Structure 1
Amino acid sequence: MSEMDTNLPSTRQVQNFIKDKKEVEVKLLTNDLLKGRVIWQDTDCLCLADDSTQTTLIWRQAIAFIKIRP
């Protein structure tokens, strides 16, 4: 298993989303749009919690983009 490379800007940006509890939109390659807060990340996945605190595990390879919600 590879280690999380915290020198990568993308890793640091997601860590900032987690630390600042930012609401984000995660667009998947399937064209689905998920909304919530990233609560953790590892080398393979992100965990997103929605408003009802239901969590969704998202494989990184399924993500098209992540952006802060307006």
Structure 2
Amino acid sequence: MQVRVRVRVQKPDGLDLNDKAFLDDMLVEAKKNLRAQGLDDNVQLAWRKQLDGQIFHKEEEKKTDEL
């Protein structure tokens, strides 16, 4: 069974969210959290790349109409 999860991350200054080392560390931490919640070691995690090859994209800020 495949499950897709969308992740929203606040980017610290100077950090490239699409850096391979950062992405690998995030997967390791996510797997630790899943194990702590009772999932077994057979869980496989992977990033889904977009058409441009990137994982994360800057989210456009939603504009609110002024009354």
TM-score (norm: length of structure 2): 0.27
TM-score (norm: length of structure 1): 0.26
